[in-house]
Each structure stands twice: as structure tokens, then as C-alpha cells.
Amino acid sequence: MKLQPMIIAFAPLVVAASAGTAAGLTVYGANQLDNQVSSTFLDSLQNTTIGYNIYVDDLGVTVVVPTVQRAIDFDGEDAGLFDAITAVNDHMFVAAESNLAQNEAHTVLPSSQVTHEWLVGQGASGKEAASTRPAGGVNGLSGGIAERAEAAALNYFAYLDDHKGCTNHDLVSVYEKKCNTYASAYASVFFENPQSKALTVTIWPHHDCSKGDQRAFVVSAKSVGSCQARTTYSFSGQFK
């Protein structure tokens, strides 16, 4: 029996918006996938003229995979895919994965055969802005003036969790284009982007941002990204 898509609203992390959080981060939740949104994404994907397969994971994320065995390259061959994801990223949960490992747990279909109805039937989720919160977690950036100034200059934040629910509130401050690797694997992770540019993040189930099998996704400007319930030993991000 197929699992129902998880509502990804980060309820424990949401704080009420106030006059002081007008420039806060957008927190997204799941909703019904809109036909126009999915059609925009599928049409953009077809316009790339590159072969992709699609499946929907257990959290309702629409996942795009190359039809040939290779990694995802948003700066090269998959630039069109990046544009397609960015165009719907505030209205649909989408990610891309390398085709270096077989995924037998989900139904996979060539992108040219995918329809809105098929995506909904597979449990694909739409996405909507649900609330706002300050950058740096539930209580905003902590510490004294110097610490807050330093943290505000950092590029983005990561929240790594030993469990699949992305409930950990402890952040890690991260600079872009740096591989962050850990001795032990995390079960889930989400990211926070306080900058005015989109953030592209890649996570690996291996150390040192290597050996393939990676998942890549986009965290919109000034927003909190969705939960990635995927084994993560390392990750890297950059702004585009």
C-alpha cells in the first residue's frame, strides 16, 4: 500500500508573523497539486529535449531522474531542468536525482508520458506559503551583536536530524560551495535560505560529496526548504 504524502509544514518551527518579521523567511506547507502548476513543469521539462524519468517519493516530492546513468549537473546539461524546477518551486515539491543507483521502491515513468492525473495518483504534493519565521530558527539568530552580525553574513543554514521527521531545531551555519561531510549519516535534513537568491543544494548518501547517488533541489530565496528524508552523509550548496 502506497504511503500517503506527508504534510511538510514544519509546525514546531513556525512563529507568528509580526511587524518585526516582515522580512522573515517563508515557511511552506503541502496542499493539492494544481493542474496548471504541474503542466507548466512538465511542459518546461519537455522543452529541454533531454530524456528524464519521473517518480513520486513517500513525502510527495516529484523526483526527476536522467534516463541515462549520470549525475545531475544544474550548471551544464541539466540547466533547463533547473529552470523548470525554479519556475514551480513555490507551488510544487520537486527534486532531481542522479541515475547512478536503481530505485525499485517507486513506480517510474518517462517524463513524456507523465500527466497531472498520474502525479496526483502517485501522491505528488502541491506547495503553498503557510507562515513566516525569523532567519536562524525558532528564536532567530542568538548571541550578542557580534555573533548575530557574523551569522547574518553566513550563506545558509542546515538542520540535520537523526530521525526522518526533520524535527531538529539545532542549526549549522554553512558557506556556499563548501562540502560539509559527517562521520555518521543523518536520516533527514532541511535547509534555510536567508538570501535574496535561490539556493541549490545537493545531498549525498556518501562522505565527501562524492560517489554519486545524490539528490539536488532548490530552496527559494528567503525561505525554509522542505524536509528531505534521505540518508545524508554530506551536502553542498550554492546560489544561482
pLDDT tens, position by position, for the chain (240 residues)? 444 443 333 333 333 333 333 358 999 999 999 999 999 999 999 999 899 999 999 899 999 999 998 999 999 999 999 999 999 999 999 999 998 655 667 899 999 999 999 999 999 999 999 999 988 865 455 444 444 555 556 689 999 999 998 999 899 999 999 999 999 999 999 999 999 999 999 999 999 999 888 999 999 999 999 999 999 999 999 998
pTM: 0.83
Cβ-based neighbours of 86, under 8 Å, separated by 6 or more: 198, 218
Neighbours of 203 (CB within 10 A): 25
- pLDDT attached to residue 166: 92
- pLDDT attached to residue 101: 59
